[in-house]
Structure 1
Amino acid sequence: MTKINVRVACALSLLLLARAAQAHTGVHPAGLEGGLLHPLLGPDHLLAMVCVGVVSMQLGGSSVWRVPAAFVLAMIVGGATGMARPGAGFAEAGIAISLVALGSAIVFRQRMPHALVMACVGVFGFCHGYAHGVEIPQAASPWLYTVGFVTSTTLLHVCGVGLGWLGARGRTQAMALRAGGLAVGVMGLAYLGGFAGLAA
């Protein structure tokens, strides 16, 4: 039953990705659709959210739902902050750091204190939410937009949990999952290098 649920959730997310590809034509949809698409159109958002699900599954126990929940709650706060006070440049650097940290956690699978993981994920969620809020389309309903990006994020977390579950099924799957984590971490470092170059 669990395997079926994971497949269904991943299929739904893939449908959202296909819809995003169709909509990526220069038109920025507002409201619910805009919120649904925003986490999917940026690989930094998409990969970080999937990684949160993977890490939560690797930690096991109640972390499987608590870690993604912490991310989503902080993301909502960050989204509201970004809508009200746009302009701060910290969010993009925070998003890049989240890729490095989450990718490294998948590669090394280091057991860290639960409180530390929750705090880090909360900070990362706030940064991603802030970016969502700042980029809300004009005339969009903030409530519908928020429901949209929360829904997409939750589905991506579920897909990450599914990947984490598959990664524990065998040595080959575990190695593939770690390779993916390494790729995400390298992408984060590349983003950070870009920010450092701009600041120099």
Structure 2
Amino acid sequence: MTPASTKRTTLAAILFLAAAMPAEAHVGAGSTSSFAAGFVHPLSGLDHMTAMVAVGLWAAMKGGKALWAWPLAFLGVMLAGGALGMLHVPVPFVEPGILASVVAFGLLVALAIDLPVSAGVAIIGLFALFHGHAHGAEVPENAAGLDYMAGFAAATALLHGVGMAAGLRLGWRFRGLARAAGAACATIGVGLSVGMV
């Protein structure tokens, strides 16, 4: 069993890391031509980092099939959205959808919403489409673009894993801390939406 102080320190470190990152993860920010650039990109903005960690936290709170189904749904639909963006297929409300995802995922964790796995897949998939499209729209239509998307997917999986690990380590005894992290995510999303973060 992990001591309470270790659990609290782990969550505090995750929240501190999220708060220290600039919100520059939207299209046009940085290079989009290598695996390394793709890997770093989700780590460079609060909107993507908090949303992806929140998906992992929510999956850990649900447990069971959600532990693999929800993160895989995000990854799969995000890559499909990236392909649409690379092909310049328009998707409406991409930027508002990304900001809404931060708030929505945060609230799902903060309120400990318990939905069927299929409903979670649908919600996660909708928002993943926006995240993927935003980045795919700026990726070159060549192998370098595919390398970038592979890097982006790897970093996304890592962030989901961080959220799941934190949620599983906190467990039921410290569920309140996971819910507080969800509330922080939702607050960040509102702050980004109104330009305060």
The bucket for the TM-score relative to the shorter chain is 0.7 to 0.9
Determine if the alignment matches structure 1 residue 131 to structure 2 residue 138: no
- Alignment RMSD (CA, Å): 2.7
Q: TM-score, normalised by structure 1?
A: 0.76
State the one-letter code of the partner of 2:179.
R
Which residues of structure 2 form unaligned runs of 5+? 1-9, 23-28
Determine if the alignment matches structure 1 residue 57 to structure 2 residue 60: yes
Q: Choose the corresponding residue for 1:74, options 69, 74, 77.
A: 77
Percent same amino acid among aligned pairs? 35
Aligned to 2:177: 176
Which residues of structure 1 form unaligned runs of 5+? 1-9, 195-200
State the one-letter code of the partner of 1:71.
F
Q: Which moved more, 1:28-37 or 1:111-120?
A: 28-37
Aligned to 2:4: none
Q: TM-score, normalised by structure 2?
A: 0.77
The structure richer in helix per residue is 1
Determine if the alignment matches structure 1 residue 45 to structure 2 residue 48: yes
Please list, as runs of the form range in 1=range in 2, the aligned pairs for 1:7-156 lying within 5 A after superposition: 28=31, 30-85=33-88, 90-136=93-139, 141-156=144-159
Return the offset for 1:123. Answer: 0.7
Report if the CA contact (8 A) 1:103-1:182 is conserved: yes
Report if the CA contact (8 A) 1:30-1:137 is conserved: yes
SS of residue paired to 2:182: helix
Aligned to 1:191: 192
Deviations 1:124-166 (A, max 9, x none): 1111111121233698712111111011111111111101112
Determine if the alignment matches structure 1 residue 167 to structure 2 residue 147: no
SS of residue paired to 2:64: coil
Output the CA distance in 2 between the equivalents of 1:115 and 1:139.
Answer: 34
Return the offset for 1:71. Answer: 0.4
Aligned residues: 172
State the one-letter code of the partner of 2:45.
G
Deviations 1:44-81 (A, max 9, x none): 01111111111111111011001000000000001111
